[in-house]
């Protein structure tokens, strides 16, 4: 599915932020593991969370969705069981990596597969620590397909992450939770901590501290979790596309409701505010252990900045859309220390660069980032220009937002991927004044 932008958008109104994809998937896994009655509200009905739900149901979770979109987890009479058919995670790296930890820790026999994109992504950084813990994992040169078989885990495990990664951290924590292993994880920079917050919310004995400038997470070997209904806050990564649309478009004001404000995720707001973005944070509150708020955004005169170091792990998913903001800012923006972008759903640095080349946006590539020479003016382009999304939802949505600043419509190719993380993107963006045509 290709999407074509329009040239007469005016971004304004009030919208509800879609549920957080990362939190939705974690709530499914931890909720199913607890084996108690529980309802999840605000769940993101995207392809990634749904593939995780289907995989859990394959091993006996019995999760269902009611007519209002709420997810029901019910107490089961039987424990999880082995599965002969492969658990298919589609495009969901989060689902695959976290479930590898959970199911290995439970001592199941299972196999895992995914789509072409997920099958090309390296999994060694998950497989290696899980194997050190005692997991029995077989892979295809560190990639899918992957299989696990029952084994005994160590009673305690300590691991220092060589590269900051919330998915690796969470996979180890879930494996330790399921196996009854005492866990200590040291991360060089704090990454998103949804797993820690959710475990704490349900009563786990987990502590986080700072030692020698590093983040240390400790999970006790014995935990009894108490289920309670859970409300998923909005996904700030999804909100980022709406925010940038309002900043670069002709927007008198856009209000985005119920945006997750976890301190390990708000780097995108810090980066955009450093660029001069007019973003007002209102109604700060706590929802199921997670901070959230409402955001009010207005068109702003942006300026180029340097983004590197500690902020990068906390904006890694938002760098493509931040790059679009940078393209329409005054002056140069430099992004460094973002090598991780080369092993996402696509090589996102390359994908952004090629899109910029098609649009005539001045930039230079580095191995771990790029520099972008911004200009706030509308791009005067040929009507036949098309952008390759490389089957990557964040690349697709980023260049669709860039279309707000193009004199002619542009075509973004292969946009089905958007439904993995933002299933109502087309309808929502239309409701605030920006039409996209199929």
The first and second tokens of residue 408, run together, are: 């002619």
124 assigned to active site: no
Rounded-to-integer distance, Cα 397 and Cα 122, Å: 24
Rounded-to-integer distance, Cα 364 and Cα 362, Å: 7
Instruction: Evaluate whether 115 touches 47 at the Cβ level (below 8 Å).
Output: no
Helix (H) or strand (E) holding 138: strand 136-140
Instruction: Evaluate whether 199 touches 177 at the Cβ level (below 8 Å).
Output: yes
Which is the catalytic residue, given 317, 388, 391, 392? 317
Q: How many residues does the chain have?
A: 438
Q: 90: phi > 0 → left, psi -120 to 50 → alpha, else beta; which? A: left
Between CA 218 and CA 43, with CA 165 as vertex, the angle to 5 degrees is 90
Longest dimension (CA), the chain: 64
Q: Which residue has the tokens 């999304």?
A: 389
From residue 164, give the alpha-carbon distance in Å to each of 177, 185, 211, 231.
21, 11, 16, 27
Q: For 202-256, where are the alpha helices, taking DSSP H only? A: 236-248
Q: Catalytic residue positions? A: 317
């Amino acid at each position: 599915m290709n999407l074509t932008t329009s040239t007469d958008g005016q971004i304004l109104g009030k919208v509800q932020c879609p549920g957080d994809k990362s939190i939705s998937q974690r709530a499914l896994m931890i909720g199913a593991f607890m084996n108690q009655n529980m309802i999840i509200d605000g769940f993101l009905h995207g392809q990634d969370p749904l593939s995780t739900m289907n995989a859990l149901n394959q091993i006996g979770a019995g999760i269902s969705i009611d007519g209002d979109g709420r997810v029901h987890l019910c107490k089961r009479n039987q424990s999880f069981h082995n599965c002969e058919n492969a658990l298919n995670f589609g495009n969901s790296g989060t689902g695959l990596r976290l479930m590898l930890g959970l199911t290995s820790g439970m001592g199941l026999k299972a196999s895992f597969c995914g789509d072409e994109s997920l099958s090309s992504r390296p999994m060694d950084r998950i497989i290696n620590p899980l194997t050190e813990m005692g997991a029995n994992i077989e892979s295809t040169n560190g990639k899918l397909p992957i299989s696990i078989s029952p084994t005994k885990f160590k009673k305690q495990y300590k691991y220092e992450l060589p590269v900051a990664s919330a998915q690796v951290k969470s996979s180890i924590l879930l494996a330790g939770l399921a196996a009854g292993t005492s866990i200590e994880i040291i991360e060089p920079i704090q990454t998103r901590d949804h797993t820690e917050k959710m475990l704490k919310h349900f009563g786990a004995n987990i502590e986080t501290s700072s030692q020698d400038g590093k983040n240390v997470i400790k999970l006790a070997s014995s935990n009894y979790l108490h289920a309670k209904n859970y409300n998923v806050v909005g996904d700030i990564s999804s909100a980022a596309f709406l925010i940038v649309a309002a900043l670069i478009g002709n927007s008198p004001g856009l209000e985005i409701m119920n945006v997750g404000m976890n301190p390990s995720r708000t780097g995108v707001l810090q980066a955009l505010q450093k660029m001069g973005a007019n973003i007002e944070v209102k109604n700060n509150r706590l929802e199921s252990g997670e901070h959230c708020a409402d955001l009010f955004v207005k068109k702003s005169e942006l300026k180029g900045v340097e983004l590197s170091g500690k902020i990068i792990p906390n904006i890694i998913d938002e760098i493509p859309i931040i790059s679009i903001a940078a393209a329409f800012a005054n002056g140069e923006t430099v992004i460094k220390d973002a090598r991780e972008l080369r092993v996402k759903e696509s090589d996102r640095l390359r994908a952004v660069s090629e899109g910029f080349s098609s649009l005539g946006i001045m930039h230079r590539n580095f191995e771990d980032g790029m520099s972008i020479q911004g200009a706030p003016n509308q791009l005067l382009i040929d009507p036949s220009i098309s952008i390759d999304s490389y089957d990557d939802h964040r690349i697709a949505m980023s260049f669709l937002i860039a279309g707000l600043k193009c004199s002619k419509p542009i075509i973004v190719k292969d946009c089905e991927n958007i439904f993995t993380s933002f299933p109502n993107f087309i309808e929502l963006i239309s409701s605030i004044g920006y039409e996209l045509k199929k």
